[in-house]
Amino acid sequence: MSTESATHLRDESGPFFGEFGGRFMPESLIAALDEISAVYEEAKADPTFAAELAELHRTYTGRPSIITEAPRFGEYAGGARIILKREDLNHTGSHKINNVLGQALLARRLGKTRLIAETGAGQHGVATATAAALFGMSCVVYMGEVDTERQALNVARMRLLGAEVISVTTGTRTLKDALNEAFRDWVANVSDTHYVLGTVAGPHPFPVMVRDFHKIIGEEARAQVLELTGALPDAVVACVGGGSNAIGIFHAFLDDPDVRLYGYEAAGDGVETLRHAATITKGRPGVLHGSRSFMLQDADGQTLDSHSISAGLDYPGVGPEHAWLSSIGRATYLPITDAEAMNAFRILCQTEGIIPAIESAHALAGAIELGRELGPDATILVSLSGRGDKDVETAGRYFGVLDEAALAASALEQNALDANELTDGEAEAGELDHDAALTAAARQALDEASSRVDDLSAATGNGVER
Amino acid sequence: MSAQSTPTFRAVSPVGTAIQRANSARKGALIGYLPVGFPNLAESIDAAVALVENGVDILELGLPYSDPVMDGPVIQKATQTSLDNGFRLSDAFTAVEAIRARVDAPILLMTYYNPVVQYGIDRFADDLVSAGGAGLITPDLTVDSGAHWIAASDRTGLDRVFLAAPTSTDERLRLAVDNSRGFVYVVSTMGVTGARGDVDAAARTLVERLRANGLAEGSPAASTTGACVGIGISTGDQVAEVLEYADGAIVGSALVRALADGGVSEVARVAAGLAVGTAR
Ligand SMILES: Cc1ncc(COP(=O)(O)O)c(C=O)c1O
């Protein structure tokens, strides 16, 4: 089992992973990236940094996250032994907090007082807003307009945490455009602002640094599975958007050649259609958001729209380390459609009593396929990257179990309540930093609620979607 | 495009020559930016020609790109319109050829890196030479990541403009000076493109730092490199102010807005107003 390989894949630390990675960025940001690289190297060498982060994880994140066996789910996966790594149980509901706390500590070392972030599903935005509150920093989160609509609950969470959420209306109005907007903000405000990039993409050192902050997932899981089963798993699987939870759980296993690694990309309506986000499956190498990797693009190098039911996987790029692991054959990347993911979502809910994030449901669907292929003797470790609270509305509507009219009414009422509370709160705590943002938030909440009522009555008119 | 014929190597920088000429006749050069294909290909060509006819010395033609991280709202909106109208990379070469047939000003393409990579860096360089273009401005490609483009431009003699920012270290300024041909793009302020009330004092400091790091004093010889200041400049007075210490002033958003609001005649009028700032 412990075949010693000559080179350690785990030691790869950029800026390039093979031909992928690098730093293709405006000169205005190079100094900031160099500063992050330098301060991050210092922090890595400083035991107090590791100790601080470990203490935060112990007392705030709730690490180590547990593993859970899923035998009833395993029946759907060819009887394979399915073990879930429960990143969904972390504070804020996903793996994203691992990276955010690391970067927030780093931002403090850098003397930065303002955090900005992009977010797709809202999980990274929520984690960043949380860290900003915890560290007493101000926070602005950029989110594509399309995503603010499908993940409205997370928008509210970020605002409750004191962050300003800016709805991005440029380009395709999704995650990639939120990254563009965050870079533009960073160029203009780099003196006091740290950009907490939320996945293992972007210019060096982000892919390496974000990976390092997430590799705790696999380190814990490797030891936990060994202790539980006495052996390493046969396969480790994860969903891949930008690829942070996947690299996090893969990394500790990179030099275990008998452990197969599978990343599942969002295939949306199917990779034979134009509506998917299967970057490695269907893309080709190019430069996007500061690094060279696979991306969905047309012949002229214009980035193509991606599509997925899952906002967190709806990204036309992927981290360069994944492009490299794919190119050397160490990891395999396969597409999972919306329908396959939602089927796995439902199965996990009803066999194990766990509601997964729709992103994570792609990994679960992959595990079902893989288990059927490998059979009942196989052990499969699954990255359950997040919980599905944020997706209840999407999933409820998908499965037709949402009482649409009641939801609309209660959303309107609740948002009106929120609006009042926030406005009152503002009057009392006159010195709160984010007053303006909060009132604006409240006002927008009301607007959103009323437009949602319109949407919903339209939806109920012709029955539930799908 | 005809990539078959081997393009002739250019020993003299067309952009450097134009800057030198502007600096000896007037206070310095005026460089005007417009995106290709906005509001449509034909009008973007007419507008570029109008710029030159109204005092612009060097044209900077923007290639519309889906993810323009250095651009502010005015330019984003224009380039998005061009993309929505079906802009193709080949349109850029068409535009360069058409403009060069009508006016004699060097044309730099301002392009993000990925379209060049996908077209093929060498093929892009060859086709740009064939179309009569002068070179590239690369907002998201720095010298340390640009070996392939540096080799292609050395082979063809194309000009290459790298950027210098207020946050750049002396070491990086030297890299930009040593590797740029035509001019170094002096980013006047930390931010994206867009008109601003004042041009940051940081620009003057940055030009001084570039001079201290190897940039030739005064008007550059054609074979060397000037310092041209961009981002935020929108009036003739600002042009005049910048040309006190720099070799050229670059105007983008103000021209794009004029084109959007009043068409070719308005962009011509605004260009003429800006050109007043180049008079000694
Ligand atoms: C729960 C969850 N899993 C996965 C992802 C995808 O990101 P990554 O591929 O970086 O793990 C997201 C992103 O929002 C997420 O919220």
Q: Which ipTM value was assigned to this complex?
A: 0.94
The answer to whether residue A260 neighbours chain B at the CB level (below 8 Å) is no
| A362 within ligand 1 shell (Cβ under 6 A) | no
Q: Are A105 and A131 in contact (CB under 8 A)?
A: no
Q: What is the identity of the amino acid at B97? A: E
Instruction: Nearest by CB to A300, from B118, B166, B168: name it.
Output: B118
Using a 10 angstrom Cβ sphere, with 0-12 exposed, 13-18 middle and 19 or more buried, the burial of residue B39 is: middle
* SS3 (DSSP) at A73: helix
pLDDT digits (tens, 9 = 90+) for A251-288: 999 999 999 999 999 999 999 999 999 999 999 999 99
Distance CA B23, CA B221 (A): 10
Which tokens belong to A123? Answer: 């999980």
**N-terminal to C-terminal alpha carbon distance within chain A:** 47
Distance CA B257, CA B42 (A): 18
Burial A179-203 (b: 16+ CB within 10 A, else e): bbbbbbbbbbbbeebbbbbbbbbbb
Number of compact structural domains in chain B: 1
Q: What share of chain B is helix, strand, coil (3-state, %, to 5)?
A: 50, 15, 35
| A243 within ligand 1 shell (Cβ under 6 A) | yes
Q: CB A191 to CB B69 under 8 A?
A: no
Question: Is the Cα torsion angle B72, B74, B80, B86 positive or negative in sign?
Answer: negative
| A313 within ligand 1 shell (Cβ under 6 A) | yes
pLDDT of B166 > 60? The answer is yes
Q: Any idea where the domains of chain A sit in the sequence? A: 23-61+95-210, 67-92+214-394, 402-459
* SS3 (DSSP) at A328: coil
| A175 within ligand 1 shell (Cβ under 6 A) | no
Give me the pLDDT at residue A171, please.
86
What architecture (CATH level 2) is domain A67-92+214-394? Answer: 3-Layer(aba) Sandwich (3.40)
Report in angstroms the alpha-carbon separations of A16 from A13, A21, B145: 8, 5, 11
Distance CA B24, CA B33 (A): 23
DSSP B189: S
* Phi/psi of residue A205, nearest 5 degrees: -95, 10
Q: Is the peptide bond before A205 cis (omega within 30 degrees of 0)?
A: yes
Domains A23-61+95-210 and A67-92+214-394 share a fold: yes
Strands laid side by side in the A81-86 sheet? A67-69, A81-86, A379-384, A235-240, A260-268, A331-337
Domain residues for the domain of B71 are 14-278
Q: Closest ligand 1 atom, CA of A94?
A: 1
- Chain B CB contacts of A176 below 8 Å: 67
Greatest distance between any 2 Cα atoms in chain B: 48
Residue B2 lies in a domain: no
Which tokens belong to A63? Answer: 């690490």
Report in angstroms the alpha-carbon separations of B1 from B63, B115, B213: 17, 16, 39
- Select from A312, A372, A366, A311 the least CA-distant residue to A344: A366
Strand partners, A94: A386
Strand partners, A17: A20
pLDDT digits (tens, 9 = 90+) for A141-157: 999 998 998 888 999 99
Q: Pseudo-torsion of CA B188, B193, B196, B200, nearest 10°? A: -10
Q: Residue B55 C-alpha to ligand 1 middle, in angstroms?
A: 52
Instruction: Nearest by CB to B190, from A187, A290, A302: name it.
Output: A187
Give me the pLDDT at residue A445, please.
45
Which tokens belong to A68? Answer: 């859970």
| Domain A23-61+95-210 belongs in CATH node 3.40.50.1100 | yes
Give me the pLDDT at residue A330, please.
98
Residue B219 lies in a domain: yes
Which tokens belong to A184? Answer: 């533009």
Residue B5 lies in a domain: no
Q: Quick one: which H or E segment has residue A7?
A: none
> Which CATH number does the domain housing residue B231 bear?
3.20.20.70
Which tokens belong to B155? Answer: 């082979």
Residue B233 lies in a domain: yes
- Residue matched to tokens 């679960």: A364
Q: Which residue of B has its CA nearest to A174?
A: B67
Residue B159 lies in a domain: yes
Give me the pLDDT at residue A145, please.
95
Question: Is the Cα torsion angle A170, A167, A294, A336 positive or negative in sign?
Answer: negative
Distance CA A105, CA B76 (A): 34
- Select from B180, B189, B102 the least CA-distant residue to B142: B180
Q: Are A390 and A121 in contact (CB under 8 A)?
A: yes
pLDDT of B212 > 90? The answer is yes
Distance CA A326, CA A283 (A): 12
**N-terminal to C-terminal alpha carbon distance within chain B:** 42
Distance CA A59, CA A163 (A): 23
Angle between helices A320-327 and A206-214 (to 10 degrees): 80
Distance CA B155, CA B126 (A): 10
Q: CB B168 to CB A188 under 8 A?
A: no
Burial A394-421 (b: 16+ CB within 10 A, else e): bbebbeeebebeebbeebbeebeebbee
| A125 within ligand 1 shell (Cβ under 6 A) | no
| Interface-testing mutation among B83, B89, B118, B121, with chain A (most A C-beta atoms within 10 A) | B118
Distance CA A295, CA A280 (A): 7
Q: CB B115 to CB A287 under 8 A?
A: no
Which tokens belong to A117? Answer: 């972030």
Q: CB B119 to CB A300 under 8 A?
A: yes
Ligand 1, atom 15, lies closest to the CA of A312
Q: Are A66 and A89 in contact (CB under 8 A)?
A: yes
The answer to whether residue A129 neighbours chain B at the CB level (below 8 Å) is no
Q: Quick one: which H or E segment has residue B264?
A: helix B253-276
- Residue matched to tokens 């980013």: B187
Q: Which residues of chain A register pLDDT less than 70?
A: 1-6, 407, 410-466
Distance CA A44, CA A57 (A): 16
Q: Are A207 and A215 in contact (CB under 8 A)?
A: no
Using a 10 angstrom Cβ sphere, with 0-12 exposed, 13-18 middle and 19 or more buried, the burial of residue B146 is: buried
